[in-house]
Each structure stands twice: as structure tokens, then as C-alpha cells.
Amino acid sequence: MESKGQSAAFFDLDNTLIDGSSIYYFIRGLSKSGEIKFRDIFRFAWDNYRFRKSREENTSNMAYATKRILDFARGRSFSLISNRCEEIVHEFLPKKLFPQMKERIEEHQSIGHHTWIISASPIEIASVVAKKLGMTGAIATTGEVVNGHYSGNLPDGAMHGINKARAIQSLANANSYDLSKSFAYSDSVNDLPLLVSVGNPFIVNPNKALKVIARKNQWPVLVA
């Protein structure tokens, strides 16, 4: 029997929808108010440069970035950080958004597909990007908030690797998505669990290793 479920399109954020690392743009935005030290800005800038050149997420760099953001957020107001993210995204998104990927989102929306960002970036950033692009929503790394302030804990871990596949399965269950008719876009070999979970995977800005996998599986490759 033919499935009649809704189709959805899932987009990674860094190096897929935008050029570079959203965490770096977040840190750079915070530096303007003096809330981040220069040595940390330099480390994030260097990691962002390597990320853009290699087009590959480095696990140790991601762990470092996550720890630094958790340390920074601990005890701070959720509403304050959320408002700051609005300002930061408003500044970087027009400059860093890949036009071809914006068109992809709009194409999916025009034929009634739900569109989601699925990202290891902080949910506060991913949700603002999704909102500005008129997307259905975002699933991303979420820090614990207690009494309106960040605890510095990450109870569900980073939205990375197998967690992305689990996240879209939960979305599919909640929204009656047919994953066999759905789409996923990513630049990262770490997102293979996400890519193999849908019937229509697309590879965006891949490095050499991911190109080999895409060729072997006959997955379309986009260069944004």
C-alpha cells in the first residue's frame, strides 16, 4: 500500500545552509560586548577557518566549543542570551546564507513540504535562523534551563551523529512524516545516520571522503 504521509526536508546548518560555523559567529557577536576573552575568539576563529577549509567537523573542536558555550552560559539569563542571538543572526545570516540553499528551502515550502534545521549548533541560534527563513522549526543542541537561567548542563547531549537520526524519527512520529519520501541535506560525514534515514539524501559542499560515499550511493552532490 502506498504511504500517504507528509514529506519533510531536513537541513544541517553549518557549511550546508551557511558558510562556516554558526558557533563562531555567535562567539564573535558576544565579543563585541566584551563577554568573551580574546584568546577564546582566536581559538574559535582558527577552528572556523579549518572547518571551512577541510569541510569536516572535528570532534575535539566541537567538544571544545560546546564546553566553552556551556561555561559561558552557566548562570546567565535564558531571555538575555536568546535576545542576543536574535541580534547576532540578524547580522551574519544575510552575509553567510548560501543563496542556492535558500532557494532549496523555498522550493520545498512551495510544494508543501515541512522544512527543519537539524544542527549541533545551539538551539537559540538554529531556531532564529529557521524563523527568519520561514521554516517549520529547528532541532538543535539544547542546554538545560532552570528558573530562567542556564545550568551549564547538556542533559540530552549534542545534536550530532546518531542523535540527528533519532530526532527526525521523533519528528516523523509526531507529524506523520514519511521519511522514505523526505529529504536531508548535509556537508558532514558525521551526518550519515541522518542521510540514510531519508529516501532523498543530498550532499552539500562535501569533502573528499564524503564525495566518495556520495558517489558510491549515487547521492546528488550540490556545491553552494
What pLDDT score was predicted for residue 46? 54
Q: Which residue in the list 14, 47, 187, 191 is annotated as catalytic?
A: 14
pLDDT of residue 55 exceeding 70:
no
pLDDT digits (tens, 9 = 90+) for 11-37: 999 999 999 888 888 877 777 665 555
Catalytic residue among 12, 47, 187, 191: 12
Which of 53-62, 89-98, 129-138, 202-211 is predicted with the least confidence, judged by mean pLDDT? 53-62
- Judge whether 3 lies within some domain: no
The answer to whether residue 2 is domain-embedded is no
Asked about 178 being catalytic, the answer comes back as no
Answer whether residue 49 is part of any domain.
yes
Of 56 and 8, more confident: 8
Residues of the domain holding 174:
8-222
Judge whether 137 lies within some domain: yes
Whether residue 110 is contained in a domain is answered as yes
Residue 83: CATH number of its domain: 3.40.50.1000
Domain assignment present for 1: no
Q: Residue 158's pLDDT is what?
A: 84
User: 200 in a domain, yes or no?
Assistant: yes
For residue 139, report the phi and psi dihedrals to the nearest 5 degrees: -120, 125
> Does residue 52 contact residue 20 with C-beta atoms inside 8 Å?
yes
Strand partners, 184: 10, 201
Q: Catalytic: 12? A: yes
* Number of domains within the chain: 1
Rounded to a whole number of angstroms, the CA Rg of the chain reads 17
For β-strands 183-186 and 149-150, DSSP reports them as unpaired
Q: State the average pLDDT for the chain.
A: 85
Asked if residue 147 is part of any domain, the answer here is yes
